Amino acid sequence: MVSERSFYYRLSGFDNLVFYGIIQGLSISEAKRVAKELLDLVGLSEWKDVQYMKYSTGMQRKLALARALILDPPVLLLDEPTLGMDVVSSRDFRSLIKKISKDKTVLLTSHNMKEVEDLADKIFVLKRGNLIAEGTKEEILAKLGKVKLVSVKEIPKGFDKYVVGYENGTFLLRVPETENVPGEVIREERPTLEDVFVYLMGEEIDSTRNRVRRGGWRRWAE
């Protein structure tokens, strides 16, 4: 799915889909038929003649999803599809992805672990382009065992990434049970995917803040 920026703002959603259908090799009549079906599928039929620039972010994403489906591909690549969407729209969009994934393979990248938990049958965790974990949600969660909620006066060095709150002059940390942290353990819990992600990323999360983009999308400088 190419980003929602790549549409013609002055054309309607329907005309945009017809245009891209023809560009992908469909005839005018095929493109119109497919555009109508896809607008029905993503729930935009009512707004089919409205100019794209008047669509909300959620509607724009749905149209981008519809465009990705024009040639009915067996595999869909979705790159952070709900980024920037409000809660209701992203929930709506996730249910749309679930509907589509019944007869398609959907490869979805996301930093939103709630989204991953909701949608993924299988999870792959990448760090700097390398696969560092894969499996079902349960298999990934099992990598961490349990997490403990610890209250500390000062954050120990290297533990910034585990901070989840601050109250009454103490910091709250969610740390893997295997980590030794000087503080009061409030309780132990089952980990979430977010806990596992933070744990697996390790130092990467801190160093990311210091990296800048330079040149093409592949080139990064420390």
Partner 1 sequence: MGGIIDKLYAYIYLRGFKIWSSYKTQMILNVLSWVLPVFTYYFVGTSLGGKLVENVGVTDYTAFIVIGLAFQGYVSSTITTISQRLRNEQLYGTIEYYVLSSGGVLSFLIYSALWGFVMNTINAVVTLLIGLALKVHYDVNLLSTAIIIFLLLLSTLGFAMISAGFTMIVKQGNPIAFFFSTFTTLMAGTVFPVTILPTPVKLISLAIPLTWALNGLRLSMLYGEGVMQLLNIIGVLALFNVILLPLGIGFYSYSFKRARKKGTLSEY
Q: Using CB under 8 A, list all residues that contact partner 1.
A: 2-3, 5-11, 15, 18-20, 22-28, 30-31, 51, 215-219
Q: How far apart are CA 209 and CA 95, in angstroms?
A: 33
Report, in Å, the least distance between residue 220 CB and partner 1: 12
Q: Cα–Cα distances in Å, from 131 out to 108, 114, 152?
A: 15, 20, 33
Q: CB-wise, 70 or 140, nearer to partner 1?
A: 70
Q: How far apart are CA 190 and CA 181, in angstroms?
A: 18
The CA-to-CA distance between both ends of the chain, in Å, stands at: 30
On whether the CB atoms of residues 13 and 50 are closer than 8 A, the answer is yes
- How buried is residue 222: exposed, middle or buried, by Cβ count under 10 Å (0-12/13-18/19+)? exposed
Report, in Å, the least distance between residue 214 CB and partner 1: 11
Query: Which residues is 105 bridged to in the sheet?
Result: 75
Report, in Å, the least distance between residue 41 CB and partner 1: 20
Q: CB-wise, 22 or 172, nearer to partner 1?
A: 22
Q: CB-wise, 21 or 176, nearer to partner 1?
A: 21
Report, in Å, the least distance between residue 53 CB and partner 1: 10
At 57, phi and psi to the nearest 5?
-55, -45
Q: CB-wise, 13 or 176, nearer to partner 1?
A: 13
Report, in Å, the least distance between residue 109 CB and partner 1: 17
Query: Which residues is 163 bridged to in the sheet?
Result: 173
Q: CB-wise, 28 or 205, nearer to partner 1?
A: 28
Q: CB-wise, 209 or 218, nearer to partner 1?
A: 218
Report, in Å, the least distance between residue 23 CB and partner 1: 5
Q: Read out DSSP for 38-93?
A: HHHHHT-GGGTTSBGGGS-HHHHHHHHHHHHTTT--SEEEEESTTTT--HHHHHHH
